Amino acid sequence: MSFAQEAVQLEHPVHGHGFTDNEIQELLSLLQSPSPSEDSGSSGSNQEVCSIDERRRRRMLSNRESARRSRWRKKRHFEDLTQQLNRLEIVNRELKNRLGSILNQSHVLWRENDRLMFESMALKARLSDLCHALVAVNAMQKSQ
């Protein structure tokens, strides 16, 4: 029997700390089990290395997949922006054509307006001349 087992088999177990007999047995069995460094084989450390390698491998795969998705999103975003650019260039070209057409119409209307203003001024001058002639005719008729 080991020293730890002899301590548990006392005539009067100590319950002052609130541990039950089962809890004390579990604690002692933990103390008696060999630590990973004292283990005769290296299966524990191999498991740790395997789990570390496995985690590293999974992380690498996860990173590759994440990078692939990121490249796909970037490519898709670039394609979307290219399509938007093409649509906006078409809209821009259409707006420039409309602007050119409106400017041509505006130029035609300005010329028509200038012509009408000139014609209006000529008609006003003629009307003024006719009014003066009528006044002169009326004045002559009164004097006779």
Measured distance CA(106)–CA(10) in Å, rounded: 115
User: Domain limits at 28?
Assistant: 1-34
Residue 102 lies in a domain: no
How does the average pLDDT of the chain come out, rounded? 83
Asked if 8 and 25 count as a contact pair (C-beta separation under 8 A), the reply is yes
Tell me the residue type at 10. L
Per the structure, the count of domains in the chain is 1
Residue 11 lies in a domain: yes
Reply yes or no on whether the pLDDT at 105 is more than 60.
yes
Percent of the chain with pLDDT over 90: 56
Q: What pTM did the predictor assign?
A: 0.47
Residue 9 lies in a domain: yes
Residue 25 lies in a domain: yes
Pick the most confident of 15-29, 46-60, 99-113. 99-113
Q: What is the pLDDT of residue 16?
A: 52
How many other β-carbons are positioned within 10 Å of the β-carbon of residue 42?
11
Q: What is the pLDDT of residue 4?
A: 45
pLDDT tens per residue across span 50-103: 788 888 889 999 999 999 999 999 999 999 999 999 999 999 999 999 999 999
Residue 142 lies in a domain: no
Residue 13 lies in a domain: yes
Residue 144 lies in a domain: no
Measured distance CA(88)–CA(82) in Å, rounded: 10
Residue 27 lies in a domain: yes
DSSP code string of the chain: --HHHHHHT-SS---TTS--HHHHHHHHHHHHSPPTTT-SSSHHHHHHHHHHHHHHHHHHHHHHHHHHHHHHHHHHHHHHHHHHHHHHHHHHHHHHHHHHHHHHHHHHHHHHHHHHHHHHHHHHHHHHHHHHHHHHHHHHHHH-
Asked if 16 and 46 count as a contact pair (C-beta separation under 8 A), the reply is no
